[in-house]
Amino acid sequence: MKFAIQVNEGPYQHQAADSAFQFAKAAIENGHEIMRVFFYHDGVNNASNFTLPPQDDRHVVNNWASLNIKNAEGEPELVVCVAAALRRGMLDESEATKNAIEGYNLHPAFRISGLGQLIEAGIQSDRLVVFGD
Amino acid sequence: MATKKFMYLNRRSSFGTVYAIESLEVVLIAAAFEQDVSLAFMDDGVYQIVEGQNTDGIGMKNFSKTFHALGDYDINKLYVSKESLEERGLSESDLMPLVYEDEDDDWAEKSSIKVVTNDELKAIMSEQDVCLSF
């Protein structure tokens, strides 16, 4: 089955991101496809390359990256909503340059795009599964 | 592109958390995709469409007026839980008059709001292809 996933909460504060990751991992291991994971609301914080949990804790951001979810063109299909990301200080290199801000924090396994990608995922997948509070 | 039935389920009030306004942002984007869109309001989500919201004292954008634009985007199925209204001492007359113009009925202005029981809402939800919960 072709799944799309929406993650509405940030890492560590809520379990939603962990549950979504576990679901995605299990789906892939069982031969299903995760065509896109869309991060919205505080979920955009799952993409922070500056995340440094203690060594005895799970690394939520690296967990996502380990799934290696990409499309046929090789682009990441871990997609962060641009409006939600910018208002929470989550930037990629292009947004940082555009807004004259030094430094950026989007993990390279993710990409920033618009809300249309969420709707498209709902249309193209067999199931869209929402993880939130 | 295939047409699917999308429902946006709103369960939280307008302010206090970001869910309501960011849900509405999704709905407005979704309008461009020509899908069959409906909205549902239950639990504290019914407060999102209460008439007379005023944010002057809290430094937040009053986005409630944006709901009036939905009719122009052909989004005219707004289901409101009867039980959630009653639990909060509200009735349909406390809600904003959200309307659309029915092109199949000589552009007559009609209410987009349908107050339904939770059982009715459950049946409507089970017909959906995609349900986004906020």
Nearest CB neighbour to A123, from listed B4, B131, B133: B4
Cβ-defined contact of A128 to B30 (cutoff 8 Å): no
Cβ-defined contact of A119 to B19 (cutoff 8 Å): no
CA distance, residue B93 to nearest chain A CA (Å): 31
Which residue among A44, A81, A90, A118 is the active-site one? Answer: A81
DSSP B98-125: -EEEEGGGTTEEEE-EEEE-HHHHHHHH
Q: What angle do CA A72, B7, A5 make, to 5 degrees?
A: 35
Domain residues for B58? 5-133
Domain boundary assignment for chain A: 2-131
* Structure tokens, B72: 């122009």
Q: What angle do CA A19, A15, A45 make, to 5 degrees?
A: 100
Q: Which residue does chain B place closest to A42, by CA atoms?
A: B18
Contact by Cβ (8 Å): A15, A21: no
pLDDT tens sequence for chain A (133 residues): 999 999 999 999 999 999 999 999 999 999 999 999 999 999 999 999 999 999 999 999 999 999 999 999 999 999 999 999 999 999 999 999 999 999 999 999 999 999 999 999 999 999 999 999 8
pTM: 0.92
Q: Which residues lie below 8 Å from residue A23, measured CB to CB, with a gap of 6+?
A: A5, A129, A131
Q: Which residues lie below 8 Å from residue B12, measured CB to CB, with a gap of 6+?
A: B19, B20, B43, B44, B45, B134
pLDDT digits 0-9 by tens, B100-116: 999 999 999 999 999 99
Question: Minimal CA–CA distance to A23: which of A34, A13, A36?
Answer: A34
Among the CATH numbers 3.30.930.10, 3.10.129.10, 3.40.50.300, 3.40.1260.10, which is that of A2-131? Answer: 3.40.1260.10
> Residue B76 belongs to a domain with what CATH number?
3.40.1260.10
